[in-house]
């Protein structure tokens, strides 16, 4: 059965990570996603190693199931192609700085004249307005401005970059998908399309779910290693005798009691909820000492039978082989050229409409002729576009 979003047709003008990861979610769920790529300015993701069959494995993953149309939007003939396609593709995702799409002739106002039901999602670092609208930035900058980096890290070394791109993905990608699907529901009810303005900084700021109330109401800013979940309690990672690590997260008294008993420190159980810095330091020092007494494998065997919210810290390769993730089918083989590419699966589990993995992302313009022919362009039309460099 087709995916739950199989009726949606998306033109994706985005590059790098936020937009492509968002449209990957849509494509996995069945949406027909067509990447509009520049033939002269390649997406930097295409250059990231490792390469498989001449294609970046990162590109192959982020752009799976998406067809590629290579157009030079600086040429009016290419813009005319978009004007024709937007009669059929009713969702657009773009990630340029504010105003760029307007200058190219494919901004929201121009395209809504052609398709009034168009849903047009713009993902930017700071949004379509405000003093930072034209400012360059990356994930780390957005998280810093949003107040998140200030309490991510250690007191002795200071704020630190996050291991994954929280502003790009949790902020840009996921919020864009949620907003697009909400706009689709609105359009179903009213027939009205709309422009969606996603700021990765705004979205990151909205993620302070447990810390914003204290800061906004009580004036208590979260700082490094002072909240219950950022190292200010026993909730943390601890090293084993052989240099591996375990995550200890049993905040509830019953879980912390079982943990304390398992490490031979039952007297710590009454101190688990303490937030006074001196008591926290004492508890963590004892946990560190206890965890250093045994190897990673020894602790793995012990905690396998203890329901205490304690799990080993795994490498990504180890995680891919973990029995829970394997049972959930979180690594899949996706068609790629003559063979397949091993990729992370979609996390969505539907009872009736399974995610689709049609093919890994391929070469730029791989589907240009196919797409244009589907939309009524003759062989002569297509050849003419290619001869003037409007298409590739």
The model's pLDDT over 290-303, given as tens digits with 9 standing for 90+, comes to 999 999 999 999 99
Mean pLDDT of the chain: 97
What letter does residue 301 receive in the DSSP assignment?
Answer: H
To the query of whether residue 138 is one of the catalytic residues in this protein, the response is yes
Residue 51 is predicted with a pLDDT of 93
Query: Alpha-carbon dihedral of residues 376, 379, 384, 386, nearest 10 degrees?
Result: 90
The model's pLDDT over 232-285, given as tens digits with 9 standing for 90+, comes to 999 999 999 999 999 999 999 999 999 999 999 999 999 998 899 999 999 999
CB 256 within 8 A of CB 234: yes
The model's pLDDT over 173-219, given as tens digits with 9 standing for 90+, comes to 999 999 999 999 999 999 999 999 999 999 999 999 999 999 999 99
- CA distances for 237 relative to 123, 206, 255, 311, angstroms: 35, 26, 16, 10
Residue 383 CB neighbours (<10 A)? 12
Report d(CA 253, CA 272) in Å as an integer: 7
The model's pLDDT over 217-228, given as tens digits with 9 standing for 90+, comes to 999 999 999 999
Is the confidence at residue 1, as pLDDT, over 80? no
Residue 2 is predicted with a pLDDT of 84
Q: Which of 18-27, 103-112, 185-194, 270-279 has the lowest mean pLDDT?
A: 270-279
- Tell me which of 12, 43, 168, 202 is the catalytic residue: 168
To the query of whether residue 59 is one of the catalytic residues in this protein, the response is no
The model's pLDDT over 31-43, given as tens digits with 9 standing for 90+, comes to 999 999 999 998 9
> What is the average per-residue pLDDT within 54-65?
96
- Show the domains of the chain with their CATH numbers: 9-206+327-387 (3.40.50.10540), 245-312 (no CATH)
Q: Which of 131-135, 174-178, 321-325, 337-341 has the lowest mean pLDDT?
A: 337-341
Is the confidence at residue 383, as pLDDT, over 90? yes
Chain-centroid distance, C-alpha 17: 7
Total H helices, total E strands in the chain: 16, 15
């Amino acid at each position: 059965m087709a995916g739950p979003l199989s009726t949606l047709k998306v033109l994706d003008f985005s590059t790098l990570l936020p937009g492509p990861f968002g449209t990957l979610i849509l494509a996995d769920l069945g949406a027909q996603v067509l990447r509009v790529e520049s033939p002269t300015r390649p997406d930097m993701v295409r250059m990231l190693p490792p390469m498989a069959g001449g294609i970046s494995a990162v590109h192959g993953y982020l752009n799976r199931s998406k067809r590629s149309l290579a157009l030079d939007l600086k040429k009016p003939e290419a813009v005319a192609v978009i004007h024709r396609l937007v009669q059929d593709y009713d969702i657009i995702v773009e990630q340029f700085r504010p105003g760029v799409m307007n200058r190219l002739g494919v901004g929201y106002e121009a395209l809504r004249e052609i398709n009034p039901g168009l849903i047009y999602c713009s993902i930017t670092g700071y949004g379509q307005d405000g003093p930072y609208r034209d400012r360059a930035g990356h994930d780390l900058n957005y998280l810093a401005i949003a107040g998140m980096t200030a309490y991510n890290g250690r007191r002795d070394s200071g704020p630190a970059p996050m291991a994954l791109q929280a502003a790009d993905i949790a902020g840009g990608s996921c919020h864009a998908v949620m907003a697009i699907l909400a706009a689709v529901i609105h359009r179903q009810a009213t027939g009205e399309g709309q422009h969606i303005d996603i700021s990765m900084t705004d979205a990151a700021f909205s993620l302070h779910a447990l810390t914003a109330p204290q800061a906004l109401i009580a004036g208590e800013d979260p700082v490094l290693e002072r909240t219950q979940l950022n190292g200010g309690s026993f909730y943390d990672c601890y090293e084993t005798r052989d240099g591996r690590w375990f995550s200890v997260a049993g905040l509830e008294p019953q879980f912390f009691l079982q943990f304390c008993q398992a490490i031979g420190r039952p007297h710590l159980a009454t101190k688990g909820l303490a937030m006074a810095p001196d008591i926290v330091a004492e508890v963590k020092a004892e946990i560190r000492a206890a965890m250093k007494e045994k190897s990673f494998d020894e602790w793995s065997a012990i905690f396998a039978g203890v329901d205490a919210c304690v799990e080993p810290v795994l490498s990504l390769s180890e995680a891919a082989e973990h029995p829970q993730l394997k049972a959930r089918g979180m690594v899949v083989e996706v068609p790629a050229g003559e063979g397949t590419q091993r990729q992370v699966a979609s996390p969505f589990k539907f009872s009736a409409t399974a995610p689709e993995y049609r093919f890994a992302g391929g070469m730029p313009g791989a589907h240009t002729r196919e797409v244009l022919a589907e939309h009524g362009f003759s062989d002569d039309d297509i050849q003419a576009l290619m001869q003037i460099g409007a298409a590739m």
